[in-house]
Amino acid sequence: MSFNVLAEGAIDYAAVAAKVASFAPLELFPVPPARPGELPALGVACPLSRCGEDAARALDRVVRFLWANRVHVYELWGGQEVSNETELAELCANVR
């Protein structure tokens, strides 16, 4: 099992890959659009065996990077968008 986040928007996969290469606890994978006109997405997974402080810090950095690039971020346990500092703090607390 893993803790999962989905980021949706105009994603530059190369830029994301370069930025997050050092975030070892997380696994990132592209999710191409299923139909024309849909936005590309990026899956971010943190296997439960890797949860902890390092994973929470890595997730915080990834989400902030995605926000800076105007990408919408959703946590998949409840399907809610993570769009502010409070929600990000809750998301990271769940990964600790």
Query: Can you list the domains of the chain with their CATH numbers?
Result: 2-95 (3.30.70.250)
pLDDT per residue over 35-55, tens digit each? Answer: 888 887 888 888 878 888 888
**Residue partners of 72: CB distance under 8 A and separation at least 6:** 7, 8, 9, 81, 83
Query: What does pLDDT average to over the chain?
Result: 83
pTM above threshold 0.85: no
User: Taking the CA atoms of the chain, what radius of gyration do you get in angstroms?
Assistant: 12
Among 24, 14, 65, smallest CA distance to 45 is for 24
Reported in sequence order, the residue ranges of the chain that DSSP labels E, i.e. its strands, are: 2-8, 27-31, 41-47, 72-75
Structure confidence at residue 1 as a pLDDT band (50, 70, 90): low
